[in-house]
Amino acid sequence: MNTLARLGALAGTAALTLGLAGPALADTFTYYDKAGDVWADTCTYPADDPMADGECTDARDSTIAEGDVIAASIQHNARKIVLRVRYRELTRDTDFHVFLGDIRTNEHLHRGVAVGYDSEEGVSFADLFRMSDGNDVRCSLGRTVDFTNNLIEVRIPRGCLSSPRWIQAGMGHLRFSETEGTAEDGTSTVTEATYFDDALSGYYSTTKMSPKLFRN
């Protein structure tokens, strides 16, 4: 969880629709993220020596559609906070997905939320944790991982955040993969890749948050 906590999240400007906006009584922020802004961090190294220095690259890859955020919304109503992200593609059998949220409140609580899907195990999970140390916070989270509509949503009861008057939040999506290959000299290789898309901006690393969203 410490890794997830450090990877946090981000923000931008507002809009509405796309099926992302919540009920009229909720304070809602919606952001449309441009396509083709996934960051790819890859390293290739000999399969028999994973501790060796690998050949690594770190760059934006506009060809990646899997896990590429195109719209995101944050909703704060009388009962819960809802974080929702829609993607260009979200595939059930692709690697390991983790949706990340970063939430701050008027009471100075700083919490992270992670919703993940492990394709090998075929299961999803949802965790709320303290951003300061990564320790879990007990909470009955609701979650939806919808591969048909390319959507991930997490629902956080306000009581899990001490029933805040207002919240700010940011979001991002993380994906891991590992593939085997062969180098030109015939050596077996392993390529590990981490892909990240900030849901609320076009940048890889930022601490900018959404506007304050008040309960209604």
pLDDT of residue 3: 36
Provide the 3-class DSSP secondary structure of residue 129. Answer: strand
Q: Answer for the pair 135, 127: CB distance below 8 angstroms, yes or no.
A: no
Q: Answer for the pair 116, 97: CB distance below 8 angstroms, yes or no.
A: yes
- Enter the tokens of residue 67: 């896990």
Tell me 161's DSSP state.
G
| Angle CA 211–214–216, to nearest 5 | 145
Q: Which of 95, 114, 93, 94 minimizes the C-alpha distance to 103?
A: 114
**CA–CA gap between residue 171 and residue 212 (Å, rounded):** 15
Q: Does residue 74 carry a pLDDT above 90?
A: yes
Q: Does residue 61 carry a pLDDT above 80?
A: yes
Q: Where are the beta strands (DSSP E) in the chain?
A: 27-31, 38-46, 55-61, 69-76, 80-87, 96-105, 110-118, 123-130, 136-137, 142-146, 151-157, 166-182, 188-198, 213-214
Mean pLDDT across 99-105: 95
pLDDT of residue 11: 28
Tell me 159's DSSP state.
G
Q: Where are the domains of the chain?
A: 2-214
- Enter the tokens of residue 194: 């981490």
- Enter the tokens of residue 54: 């690998």
Provide the 3-class DSSP secondary structure of residue 144. Answer: strand
**Span 7-20, pLDDT tens digits:** 433 223 223 223 34
**Span 157-212, pLDDT tens digits:** 999 999 999 999 999 999 988 899 998 888 899 999 999 999 988 665 555 689 99
Report the chain's mean pLDDT, rounded to a whole number: 85
